[in-house]
A and B are shown apart, each in its own frame.
Chain A
Amino acid sequence: MVKYSWADIGKLADKSDKRLLVIVRQSTNDLLKGIKIAPGINRGGSRQRGVIPRDLGALAGSLQSSLSGTTSLSGPVGQTSWVGVIGSMQVGDKARFAWGGLVAPYAAAVHFGSNGVTGTFWIDVAKGKWPGYVRGAIVKAKAAVR
């Protein structure tokens, strides 16, 4: 049996903080990395649920990643712009990821569907996987921070 004393509280708090940081970074990383990109209709592909279709690349490349809180980061745009956010984020920060904008104003039409073509709902599919990513990150955090 492990016994703790008052003197250990500071260490326990530090360990919890480190684990929380691993969890928030790992789960956010898995969320963004888990969104697949596949050839769009114009390149012989099809509209698959949960997938960003890429014909010319504008939509996939329109990802805007920003961070507010203890660290402020705004502006990175690009398919892997989330990497910078995850590297900087701290527990309690608010990260925001969005596709579209001036680069790909048709993002909503692809996500929700339009003109009789079904949407791919990649944000909602990713959102549905979030609890699983967090559960996986908790396991990794416990193993990484002892």
Chain B
Amino acid sequence: MNSKDISNAIKARLLAISPAPEISWPNVEFNPGVVPRWEVTIIKNRTDPSLKGGGAIDREDGSVQIVICTAQGIGEDAGLDDLDLVRASFAKGDRFSFTGGQCTIMTEPSQSAQPFPDKTSFRLPTSFDYVANAT
């Protein structure tokens, strides 16, 4: 497996959530005014290269940051239903396979900070850690 395989597996699992959330990814153009929307960032903390070479890795530790953006003026708990959707798909201990590897969710998705407003949305941050191993 390589690092991109892991990102793609996490993205695929996010995109399979029902009802499907509107998701914006780093370095992909999006309209900040569209709500509800999830802003997803995958942070790769540590990768162990494989002796196979060619960019293959044996293990990767990382975290997935999701900022749940909801409309303003509908209450401070507006993003909690979406947070439950994240929890349902990425519960602590969940494991899912992809080509060349397996990903394990290490921490329960929890509210990372107090929700806060920006110009167009009310934003609830959540995150969870994962470990991916080559199979």
Docked complex Cα distance between A115 and B116 (Å): 12
Quick check: B46 and A112 within 8 Å, CB to CB?
Answer: no
Quick check: A128 and B41 within 8 Å, CB to CB?
Answer: no
Quick check: B32 and A124 within 8 Å, CB to CB?
Answer: no
Q: A109-B118, A112-B67 are in contact. Are A132 and B43 (CB under 8 A)?
A: no
Quick check: B43 and A118 within 8 Å, CB to CB?
Answer: no
Interface size class of B (residues with CB under 8 A): 20 to 34
Collect the chain A residues with CB atoms within 8 Å of residue B123's CB: 112, 114
B75 located at the interface, meaning its Cβ lies under 8 Å from any Cβ of chain A in the complex: no
The main secondary structure of chain B at its interface with chain A is: strand
Q: A108-B125, A124-B127, A125-B45 are in contact. Are A118 and B26 (CB under 8 A)?
A: yes
Interface size class of A (residues with CB under 8 A): 10 to 19
CB distance from A36 to the nearest CB of B (A): 15
B133 located at the interface, meaning its Cβ lies under 8 Å from any Cβ of chain A in the complex: no
Q: Contact residues of B with A, CB < 8 Å?
A: 26, 30, 32, 39, 41, 43, 45-46, 61-63, 65, 67, 112-114, 116, 118-120, 123, 125, 127
Q: Contact residues of A with B, CB < 8 Å?
A: 49, 108-109, 111-116, 118-119, 121, 124-125, 127-129, 131-132
